[in-house]
Amino acid sequence: MSRKVLMMSLTIVALTSSVAMAQTRWYAGPQPGYGGYGGYGGGYGYGGATTPGSAAGMAMADIVRSQGMYNQMTSAAMINVEDARSKFIDNQKQWTEVYLMKQRALSAEHAQQKEDTRARNARYQEYTASHSDVPSRLPTSELNPSTGQITWPAALMRDFFVDQRQPIDQMFIARSHTGTTSELSDAIVKGIKNLQDELRKHIRDLGTQEYMDARKFLDRLSLEGRFPTG
């Protein structure tokens, strides 16, 4: 064998030994105790591996397991994201449906209010056409249409009218905010009738002119309760 061939053979052997030792150090290295250089039986310390090849195999198995766990966690995360997206879409659909229902209900309510106003105006025109003694409407100084505040005549401010007067005040304030409805209009007329009845009980406690002014005021106030606001 020539000197050149001999030198190449020695170089290959040295490189092979270096690679084997590097693999041994990379995958485990010597471990003290059982399964290592300092323990019983020797070995390379990577889960009981005794050769660089078995240590490399175990390392590859760990890599494969890690990849599997990563794929499983990624799949679970994607399922959770899709579930959250689906729930979000469902919530948006439900919100939209509720909103549209409310809008339809408001439109129906407004249409009903317009129809009630038209019907009340028609009844009032019919009433005035057949009655020549219809009282005039109250000026804003006696009934504020924006706030519903009533300026009562002095006779009706007496203490013995307070129980009948207060509900009427509250109903006219509510009317200024909600508009005139058939139910509210009927309640106002009924409340004023109760006050008129109480007024007659105290006819002897009032002067003739006071009584007449109070009675006329209540007639006009009752008429206002039938009118639409605005």
Residues of the domain holding 11: 3-65
d(CA 153, CA 217): 8
Determine which of 68-77, 169-178, 183-192 has the lowest per-residue pLDDT on average: 68-77
Please identify, among 50, 65, 80, the residue that sits at the C-terminal boundary of a domain: 65
d(CA 129, CA 134): 9
Q: How confident is the model at residue 181 (pLDDT cuts 50, 70, 90)?
A: confident
Specify the number of domains making up the chain. Answer: 2
Q: What is the pLDDT of residues 120-156, one digit of tens each?
A: 666 656 655 555 566 678 899 999 988 999 999 999 9
Domain annotation covers residue 182: yes
Determine which of 3-7, 36-40, 145-149 has the lowest per-residue pLDDT on average: 36-40
Please indicate, yes or no, whether residues 140 and 221 belong to a single structural domain of this protein: yes
Domain annotation covers residue 124: no
Q: What is the pLDDT of residue 130?
A: 57
Domain annotation covers residue 11: yes
d(CA 160, CA 151): 17
Domain annotation covers residue 83: no
End-to-end CA separation in angstroms for the chain: 122
Q: How confident is the model at residue 88 (pLDDT cuts 50, 70, 90)?
A: confident
Has residue 66 got a pLDDT over 70? yes
Q: pTM score, two decimals?
A: 0.45
Max mean pLDDT among 48-52, 87-91, 154-158, 178-182 falls in 154-158
Rounded mean pLDDT of the chain?
76
Q: How many residues are listed for the chain in this entry?
A: 230
d(CA 94, CA 26): 59
Domain annotation covers residue 221: yes
- Exposure string for 48-71, b = 16+ CB within 10 A, e = fewer: ebeebebbbebbeeeeeeeeeeee
Please identify, among 26, 46, 65, the residue that sits at the C-terminal boundary of a domain: 65
- Residues sharing a CB contact under 8 Å with residue 175, sequence separation 6 or more, in sequence order: 148, 184, 188, 225, 229
Domain annotation covers residue 169: yes
CA-CA distances (angstroms) from residue 171 to 69, 186, 193? 71, 11, 14
**Residue carrying structure tokens 């009584």:** 211
Domain annotation covers residue 36: yes
27: tokens are: 């995958």
Please identify, among 65, 100, 116, the residue that sits at the C-terminal boundary of a domain: 65
Domain annotation covers residue 9: yes
